[in-house]
A and B are shown apart, each in its own frame.
Chain A
Amino acid sequence: MLGPVLETLIGGLMTGVLYSLVALGFVLIFKASGVFNFAQGAMVLFAALSFARLSEAMPLVLAFVLSVLIMIALAYAIEFLVLRRLVNQEGIILFMATLGIAYFLEGFGQSIWGSDIYKIGLGLPTNPIFILESVFPGGLLIDPAELIAAIICAVMVLVLAVFFQVTRVGRALRAVADDHQAAQSVGIPLNRIWLMVWAVSGLVALVAGMMWGAKLGVQFSLSLIALKALPVLILGGLTSIPGAIVGGLIIGAGEKLAEVLLAPVLVRTFDLAGGGIENWFAYVLALVFLLVRPQGLFGERIIERV
C-alpha cells in the first residue's frame, strides 16, 4: 500500500513543480506591478503553440530562440497597448483587463497557429525508471521526462528567486509593486520595468508551456493549467516566490493523493459516478487555507489603515 502512495506522492510533487513555474509567472507580474495577470495561462498556451509549430519547421534551439523573441514582442505589445493606458487604475480594472487579454490571446494564438493538438518532441527519455527496488517489490515508477521537466523548472524557480532577492533590479521591481505613481515620481522607469517583468514572465510561460506541452500535448486545455496555478498562489501568497514553490508542491502532491486516497472513499460513501476530485480539491484546499491565513503561507499581511 505504501509503495503506490509514495509513487503518487512523487508524481504529484513533480507535477507540483510544474505548477510552481506557472504560478511564478503570476507572482513576478504581481510583485512588480500589482497586476493579477489572469492571462498567464493564455500566455503559456500561446508560447507552447508558437514553439510547437515552429519546431515542426526548424531545429529545436532555433525554435526556442524565436519563441523567446515572440514572447518579448508580446510583452511589448501588452505593455504598450494595455498597461500604459491603465496606469494607476484600481486593481480590479487591471485584473479584468488581463481577463480580456487572456481571451484575445487564446483566439489569436489559435487563429495563427491552428487549434489541433500538437506534439512537442523534446527528445526526453521515455523509458520508466525504477527506484528503491530493494525496498518495494518492483520498485517505484518514475517517469524520466517528468523528472527532467521538474529539474528544469526547479532550476528556473531558484534562479528567479535569487534574482529577485539579491539584485538591484529585483528591489526596484518590489518598489514598483507598491505604488505606481510614487515609483514613477522618484524616477523609476515604470514602462521599462513592466516590459522587463512581462518579458521574463513570458519566458517563464514558454518554459512552462514546453514542459506541459511535452507532457500533455499542446492544446487549448493548456490554458486551463493556469487556473490550477491559482490555488498555488493562494497557498503560497501572491507576492512570494518561495510561496509559489512550496504552494506548488503542496497542491501537486495534495491533489494526486486526494484522487488516489480520498476519491474512492467518497465514491463508495455517496455512490458517485467516478472520482475526478482533482477538479476542485486544490481550490477547496486553498479556500480552507485562506480562511485560516488570508495572506497565504508567505504572503504579506494585508494591513488596512484608515
Chain B
Amino acid sequence: MRAPSGRDIAAGEVLLAVENVSLAFGGVKAISDVSFDIRRGEIRAIIGPNGAGKTSLLNVINGFYHPQQGRITFKGRPRSAMRPYEAALGGIARTFQNVALFKGMTALDNIMAGRALKMRRGFFWQLLWIGPALAEEIEQRRRVEEIIDFLKIQHVRKIQVGKLPYGLQKRVELGRALAMEPDLLLLDEPMAGMNLEEKEDMSRFILDVNAYYGTTIALIEHDMGVVMDLSDRVLVLDHGVKIADGVPAEVQSNQAVIDAYLGLSH
C-alpha cells in the first residue's frame, strides 16, 4: 500500500500541484496540458462550460483516471498512478455530481462508513463486540455526531438515505467526506439542483468547513455568484485547456473567459 504520507504543509503553501497533465480517452482529449496548484487552507473553484474536463480533472486527482502525461505532487511528494483508496488514505475526499451515497444504509451509517480508515479494531474484537470494538464504535460515533450537528441533519440520521430529499442527500454526502478528516476536499457541483435557500445553506457549510476544520477545498460549480463569493482563487477550463487562473475579480473580467462562456471562441 503506497500511502503518500508526504510532509506537513503549512497554511498558504502548495498542497497539490498539477503539472502539464494530459488525459485522453481513446481519441478524445479530455484534458490538455493543464497546470495549476492548490494551496493549503484555500477554497479553489474550477469552472468552465460543460464538457470542459472539470470532472475528469477531479477524477485524475482522485485516482480514478490516470493521466497519460504530466505529474501530480501532493503534500510535497510526487504521486505515481494510484487507486482511489490510496488517494483516500493520503487524505483526499470527494463528493459527486450524482450523489454517490450508499442507498441501502441510513444517513448515520453512511457517515460512519466515512470513518472506515480510522477504525482499526481487528476481526476477533468485532466478533465479540463488547470491549475494544465497542469502545472504538462509540468513540467514532461521537465524532460522527459532531459532524451531524455541524450539518444539522440530526433529524434524519436514522432514515435510509434513499428516502431523503436531494438537498439532504447532498449534505449527508458532504458529511461522509468530512468524516474522513481529509486534507483536500473535492466537491463536484455541490449545489447542483438546489434552490436558493439550499444553496445558501450549502455555501455556509462550505465556508464553515474551511474556517472551522481548516480543510482545503476544490470545488466545481456553475453558479457564478457562489463561485465569486466563496472562492479564494479560480481556475477556468474550456475544452480541456486552462484559459484563466487567478482571483475571482481577475477571472471575471478576463475576455477569454467571457468568450468561452458565450461560446464565441468556437
Contacts and interface: CB of A to CB of B under 8 A. Distances in A.
Say if the two chains contact directly (CB < 8 Å).
yes
5 contacts: A306-B59, A306-B64, A306-B96, A306-B98, A306-B100
A-B pairs with the 5 shortest C-beta distances? A306-B96, A306-B100, A306-B64, A306-B59, A306-B98
Nearest to A306: B96
Nearest to B98: A306
Taking residues whose C-beta sits less than 8 angstroms from the other chain, chain A's interface range is under 10
Contacts of B59: 306
A306 B97 CA distance: 8
Contacts of B98: 306
Interface in B64-79: 64
A306 B59 CA distance: 9
Contacts, number: 5
Interface string B52-63: 000000010000
Nearest to A303: B25
Interface string B96-126: 1010100000000000000000000000000
A306 B186 CA distance: 14
A230 to B, nearest CB: 28
Interface of chain B: mostly helix, strand, loop or mixed = loop
Contacts of B100: 306
A116 to B, nearest CB: 47
A65 to B, nearest CB: 48
Nearest to B62: A306
B54 to A, nearest CB: 13
Interface string A286-306: 000000000000000000001
Interface in A130-148: none
Contacts of A306: 59, 64, 96, 98, 100
A306 B100 CA distance: 8
B261 to A, nearest CB: 26
Contacts of B64: 306
A302 to B, nearest CB: 16
A197 B238 CA distance: 45
A306 B64 CA distance: 9
A56 B96 CA distance: 64
Contacts of B96: 306
B66 to A, nearest CB: 15
B58 to A, nearest CB: 10
A306 B62 CA distance: 12
A306 B96 CA distance: 8
A51 to B, nearest CB: 45
B173 to A, nearest CB: 13
A201 B98 CA distance: 37
A182 to B, nearest CB: 16
A93 to B, nearest CB: 13
Nearest to B59: A306
A306 B58 CA distance: 11
Interface string B77-107: 0000000000000000000101010000000
Interface in A247-306: 306
B97 to A, nearest CB: 8
B176 to A, nearest CB: 15
A306 B98 CA distance: 8
A133 B64 CA distance: 61
A76 to B, nearest CB: 34
Interface in A35-53: none
A306 B188 CA distance: 11
A303 to B, nearest CB: 10
A280 B253 CA distance: 69
A92 B64 CA distance: 26
A32 B171 CA distance: 38
B50 to A, nearest CB: 16
Nearest to B100: A306
A154 B121 CA distance: 59
